[in-house]
Structure 1
Amino acid sequence: MHFQGRKKWIIGLILLVTAALISGCGTEQASPLSDKTKIGIMLSDVGLGDQSFSDAAFRGLMKARDENGIIFDYKEISKDKTYDDGFEELAQENCDLIVGLGFMVKDSMEKSAKQHPDQQFLLIDETSDLPNIASITFKEEEGSFLAGALAAMASRTNHVGFIGGVDAPVIHKFQAGFEQGVKMVDPDMAVDVKYAGDFGKADLGASIAKQMIGEGADVIYTAAGFTGVGALQEAVRHGAYAIGVDSDQYFVAEKAVISSMMKNVDVAVYKAVIDFEKNGGKFAEQHMVFGLMDNGVGLAPIRVISLMQHEQKQLDELKQKLVSGEITVQIP
């Protein structure tokens, strides 16, 4: 199915299934929902159907709805709607908490937070000094270190690749962890690095992957959203291996994806929302950080290949050393 059609189908299905339970944040009259915690979320640029970041955050909110009875609304950018517009709409709906997904929404969130100082915000993947903005960040470098070690174990050409979405500090954490994990297993292994400049272009990701594979890389790790999906699928066409990101992306390219670096945005969003609700509309921590120890990042099940016993032991030991702090990833 073409992506745009698939995206519309996914969104339509989600709305159909959840329409009776998901409510807009604003209400002018008393209703059975009036006493429930109301969450609004401004999604990242690709939006629902990205099979990655936005979908994961949405799952976290659905879990909070199903298990704790919160209600929520969401906004996406389009040719007619900017991040500024989305945040203003959510603020006017009197949400108890407004979530902004991705570092690219920071400027618009801070603008809205200054205009609505009594409104509480939650920024994911960045931090802010404003008192009414809490934040969630991840130790992507820890999970990416394990992805790099796995890539080195899987490579048959001693040559692997990394594709980043945009050249930004948060993606540098993925790159640094991956490169250092590769070098921990094989200091002499070649690592290609390329940035696509976009999170939403599958064709571009496929083109970059094709080039990398042509130059000898046989395992490609993507931190590029839907652009990365194209790279994963290109790996299948060339008999190469790939490592997905954010969600378990095995089903995107079943013959290529040996694992995915799980950035458990759903877990973090769920925990933060429940914390917010239990603390009477406040966060116990202003800046929340999720790593391997907190189940914030990690590897999805290893498929397609089978590690030898000593390789699995090494991977397990590396994980424990990251958790204990014996290994720390150096981030430029």
Structure 2
Amino acid sequence: MRKNNRFAAVALLATVGILGTACGSDSKKADLCPGVTKGSVSTPPLKLGVAFDTGGRGDGTFNDAAGRGACQAVGELGADLTELEATSDQDRKPNLETLTKNGDNPVIAVGFLFSDDLKTVATANPKTTYGIIDSVVDLPNVKSLVFAAEQGSFLVGAAAALKSTTGHIGFIGGQEIDLIKAFEAGYTAGAKAVNPDIKVEVKYLGAAGDNAAWGSPDKAKEIANGWYADGADVIYTAAGGSGAGTIDAAVASGKWAIGVDSDQYLTATPEQQKHILTSALKRVDVAVFETAKAVQSGDTKGGVRVFDLKDDGVGYSTSGGYLDDVKDKLEAFKQQIIDGTIVVPTKP
């Protein structure tokens, strides 16, 4: 029997502005996870709640990676999955509260913008274990899941320099905050490790707090078009859904774009795939799955876990085969980072 549980759907639509769907306990396949056969249900059953920020599934990057981890928990851990997506800033706290009241444990907040609301909700619900991506919330029942994004960015920066024929590349960031500056710092360091004289353009789509920066593909496209016209031939964008604009510009210009968080080649059109050199991977899927697995095994304590190259928490993609001729050099850089021979900066 296939069950689609839209719990309190009317109330949610009226008060929160979102719609929750869950995998029924007797479901063989999850509505949210097409093609995933639900694993054996544990005792007691694992109920996993995922609170997406604006954009949710389908962004091709950050949120989709979280969704893959959640679906892995459905398939391998037999988890019942409930997902809620914020449609505005005001939805984050009610969504966390709704998942908590639904009995989900753990509840994972996807993104640093949940930080303040999670502090409030987690403090009020000490028996629930929470996880948060890309932020540190210092509470005994919150697992803070952060990434050495500068390391993966270093590798795609090296790839950009190795593949550039003009010695001119670019970086487009979302909000100008420390989190994204780490991407910039790693990318620039990697590029200059290959070519100390390379020109690296840098532009941000918004100041700290400007959430439109994550969903402005037109702005990213305009910037990328200008840089491509001026001679740049590779541009890396760490700006959520805005990165789609860079990919479109790369197609129009016949140049390269670099994806972020997920392997964007896999969700691109055939024409776009011809212009996605690589993607800097941030294994949000691993963080979500490992958190669910930990709670299932009885680990409900808070703390900080850093996902880096040593545990494949970050990396770079090779889809399309465009890096085949330079992969050995990239792997050598990767090993030097793991060994500590190269220490990647987190600030530009």
Task: Indicate the TM-score class for this superposition, using the shorter chain for normalisation.
Answer: 0.7 to 0.9
Contact 2:183 2:238 in 1 (8 A): yes
Distance 1:36 1:303, change over 3 A: same
Question: Partner of 2:172: helix, strand, or coil?
Answer: strand
CA change 1:322–1:281 in 2 (3 A) is closer
Which residue number corresponds to residue 72 of structure 2?
63
Aligned position for 2:158: 149
On the 8 A contact 1:96/1:281 being kept in 2, the answer is no
Give the distance between the partners of 1:330 and 1:204, measured in 2 at CA: 27
Q: Does 1:36 align with 2:55?
A: no
Deviations 1:80-102 (A, max 9, x none): 95101111111211222111111
Number of equivalences: 307
- Answer whether contact 2:53 2:92 (CA < 8 A) is retained: no
Change (3 A) 1:129 1:140: same
Deviations 1:265-291 (A, max 9, x none): 11221122112211x2524x7211111
Aligned to 2:287: 268
Q: Which residue of 1 aligns with 2:7?
A: none
**After superposition, what is the alpha-carbon deviation per residue over 1:123-151, rounded to whole angstroms, capped at 9, x for unaligned?**
11111112221111111111100000000
Question: What is the aligned counterpart of 2:333 among 302, 318, 323?
Answer: 318
Equivalent residue for 2:4? none
Contact 1:146/1:299, CA 8 A, preserved across alignment: yes
Partner of 2:96: 87
Q: Where does 1:114-263 land on structure 2 (aligned, <5 Å)?
A: 114-197=123-206, 198-251=213-266, 252=268, 253-263=272-282
List gaps (5 residues or longer) in structure 1.
Answer: 1-14, 25-31
Instruction: Give the secondary-structure state (helix, strand or coil) at the position aligned to 1:316.
Output: helix
Q: Any conservation in 1 of the 2:150–2:184 contact (CA below 8 Å)?
A: yes
Q: Flag structure 2 segments of 5+ consecutive residues without an equivalent.
A: 1-20, 33-40, 207-212
Instruction: Give TM-score scaled by structure 1 length.
Output: 0.86
Separation in 1, partners of 2:218, 2:201: 19
For residue 119 of structure 1, report the CA deviation from its aligned partner: 2.1
CA distance 1:118–1:203, change in 2 (3 Å): same
Measure the CA separation in 2 of the matches of 1:221 and 1:59. 23
Aligned partners of 1:313 and 1:242: how far apart in 2?
21
Deviations along 1:277-317, one digit per CA (max 9) or x if unpaired, are: 11x2524x721111111011111115364554xx4332221
Cα distance in 1 for partners of 2:117, 2:152 equals: 29
1:14-70 alpha-carbon deviations (Å, 9 max, x no partner): x79x6645599xxxxxxx898311111111222111011111101111111111101
Aligned-pair identity (%): 37
| Structural RMSD (CA) | 2.3
